[in-house]
Amino acid sequence: MSEANKANTVAFYKKALFEGDVENAFRIYAGEPYRQHNPLIEDGVEGLRKFLAWILANHPDAHGEIKRVFADGDYVILHSHWHGLSDNPRGEAVVDIFRLEGGKVVEHWDVIQPIPETAANNNTMF
């Protein structure tokens, strides 16, 4: 189940965020109701549609790359590197947490951290 949930979540994320096809991402990979925990985004397909429209209008060059995918039962975590969400030339480290029911994405949380210019260690954030 975890592998199928990982595949469905990655497909949902890519279709909605990378391709901008929110309608089909929800039609194929999301369930009802879809609960959003990011305080800037409304619940459901309309909330994500509005948020992506805002990103495209304000940050048209924004793009991300999924670096890691973890799953534990009905929870899937994506660790991504995004560029263009802000003026930070190094971008942001983003962790998206999804909960699935019956293989469909039904809930989302995220944490976004700017990548600093210097670090106290020689490790990267990815």
What pLDDT was estimated at residue 97?
Answer: 98
pLDDT in tens, 6-36: 999 999 999 999 998 999 999 999 999 999 9
Angle in degrees, CA 45, 9, 1, rounded to 5: 130
DSSP per-residue codes, 88-106 = -TT-EEEEEEEEEETTEEE
Report pTM: 0.94
What pLDDT was estimated at residue 64?
Answer: 97
**Does the pLDDT value for residue 1 go beyond 90?**
no
